[in-house]
Amino acid sequence: MHRRQKPSAPEHKRDPAAHGGALSMSHNDMRSFFNFSQLVLSAGQLKSSPVIKHSKVTYFEVEILDVQSKKQICIVDKVPPTSTLLDVKHKFHKACPQWYPSRIGLQLERNGPYLKDSINIQSLAVSSIITLYFTDLGQQVGWTTFFLTEYTGPLLIYLLFYIRLSTIYDQVESTKNFRHPVVHLACFCHCLHYIRHLLETLFVHKFSGGHTPLKNMIKGCAFYWGFTSWIAYYINHPRYTPPSFGHRQVSFAALAFLMCEAGNHFINVALAHQNHSGLKACFPSPTYNPFTWLFLLVSCPNYTYEVGSWISFTVMTQTLPAGIFAFLMVIQMSLWAQKKHKLYLKRFYPEVRRKAAMIPIIF
């Protein structure tokens, strides 16, 4: 019996081992499953692979035609929907290097307005092919270059007349005659006006990178430079006669000129601060500065101060060329003010509806 029990002993011992092995394997499986569960929970929701989505990006083709002949100039293909019109102009420039982006004018219709560079190309699409009409805008210049050229000329031209070059006036007559103090004061005020414009162009006004045709700069320079030559010739002439009411007229006009110059500067600073801060939801409001209180009466006080400067300069010097220039400036500033006033009425109707455009009390 003892021998029969020996072989059964190992069998009895193998059973617990087998059970123990099965228990150890199930424990490892549970640990693996637990670790896998923790990994899934820590990773968040399972996302499907982007390959399974099969997403497609729709590209557009922009067909550019000549506005006059309607002939096809080129086709800009593979334009993403997020592209702007400026991106299309850059690609058009690569295909046709003779036209750089600022010279390209694109329209949806032949007689329609020129499209802005910031327009999204997808907003113009009716189908996958977009047809635009091209117009050569001519040689362009930046706005900063435009204003610096326009204002530097009068500053230098007036100084040439002020020093009385021998090629302009008779040299013998220039040295003999005495200069009235208003001649020196007029030179100071005139230079101050254009120096302020130059400094504001460089440090106050911020232009959005736009351009204007070169012919517009030529017209502006011809206007300002020509009138400056005419005004400076009379004021600095050796036979110039002072104002009729003498010192009182000059002092009052000079004080009014300086106040208008200061007001114009503070208004431009206030408008520039509003544009830089991005607060475009309301009309500019007056501040503690008294020069900004004109916002309570008119919507374009910078034009009011500009006109006031030239009227004061005319009274101070009492010359016909200065009076004609001031009269033309009143007309031009009134047109610009009316145009801006209409835009302000659309955007800020409650705040602007009781204001004048440029001249107080005149609605």
Decide which of 138, 157, 178 is a domain's last residue. 138
Sheet (strand 104-107) strand order: 72-79, 60-66, 129-136, 104-107
* Residue at 107 is within a domain: yes
**Computed from CA positions of residues 24, 28, 34, 35, in that sequence, does the dihedral angle turn out positive or negative?**
positive
**Computed from CA positions of residues 196, 197, 198, 201, in that sequence, does the dihedral angle turn out positive or negative?**
positive
* Residue at 12 is within a domain: no
Decide which of 219, 242, 265 is a domain's last residue. 242
* Residue at 132 is within a domain: yes
Contact by Cβ (8 Å): 311, 223? no
Examine the domain organization and report whether 358 and 254 are in the same domain. Answer: yes
Nearest to 301 by CA among 323, 271, 258: 271
Give the total number of structural domains in the chain.
3
Neighbours of 162 (CB within 10 A): 19
Examine the domain organization and report whether 148 and 250 are in the same domain. Answer: no
Examine the domain organization and report whether 260 and 353 are in the same domain. Answer: yes
Examine the domain organization and report whether 208 and 196 are in the same domain. Answer: yes
Chain segment 284-331, per-residue pLDDT in tens: 778 899 999 999 999 999 999 999 999 999 999 999 999 999 999 999
- Taking the C-alpha atoms of residue 352 and residue 355, their distance in angstroms, rounded to an integer, is 5
Domain residue limits at 73:
60-138
Q: How many residues does this entry show for the chain?
A: 363
- Residue 37 clears pLDDT 90, i.e. is over it: no
* Residue at 10 is within a domain: no
SS3 state at 111: coil
CATH number at residue 84: 3.10.20.90
Decide which of 70, 104, 138 is a domain's last residue. 138
Examine the domain organization and report whether 212 and 172 are in the same domain. Answer: yes
Distance of CA 144 to the CA centre of its chain: 11
For residue 14, what pLDDT band results from cuts at 50, 70 and 90? Answer: very low
Q: Which residues contact 176 (CB under 8 A, 6 or more apart)?
A: 238
pLDDT of residue 32: 59
Tokens of 42: 């820590």
Q: What is the pTM of this model?
A: 0.78
Contact by Cβ (8 Å): 285, 350? no
Chain segment 77-115, per-residue pLDDT in tens: 989 988 999 999 999 999 999 998 999 999 999 888 999
Examine the domain organization and report whether 132 and 164 are in the same domain. Answer: no
Examine the domain organization and report whether 183 and 290 are in the same domain. Answer: no
Range from 11-15, 33-37, 257-261 carrying the lowest mean pLDDT? 11-15
pLDDT of residue 209: 65
Chain segment 264-278, per-residue pLDDT in tens: 999 999 998 876 555
* Residue at 49 is within a domain: no
Examine the domain organization and report whether 236 and 249 are in the same domain. Answer: no
- Residue 45 clears pLDDT 90, i.e. is over it: no
Tokens of 287: 């501040």
Q: Please state the rounded mean pLDDT for residues 54-63.
A: 76
DSSP state of 186: H
DSSP state of 107: E
* Residue at 154 is within a domain: yes
Chain segment 183-224, per-residue pLDDT in tens: 999 999 999 999 999 999 999 998 876 789 999 999 999 999
Examine the domain organization and report whether 233 and 181 are in the same domain. Answer: yes
Examine the domain organization and report whether 351 and 293 are in the same domain. Answer: yes
| Backbone φ and ψ of 76, nearest 5° | -95, 110
Examine the domain organization and report whether 92 and 178 are in the same domain. Answer: no
Longest alpha-carbon distance in the chain:
157
DSSP state of 298: B
Report the helix count and the strand count for the chain, using DSSP H and E.
Answer: 11, 6
* Residue at 45 is within a domain: no
* Residue at 175 is within a domain: yes
- Taking the C-alpha atoms of residue 329 and residue 335, their distance in angstroms, rounded to an integer, is 10
- Taking the C-alpha atoms of residue 124 and residue 108, their distance in angstroms, rounded to an integer, is 8
Examine the domain organization and report whether 352 and 255 are in the same domain. Answer: yes
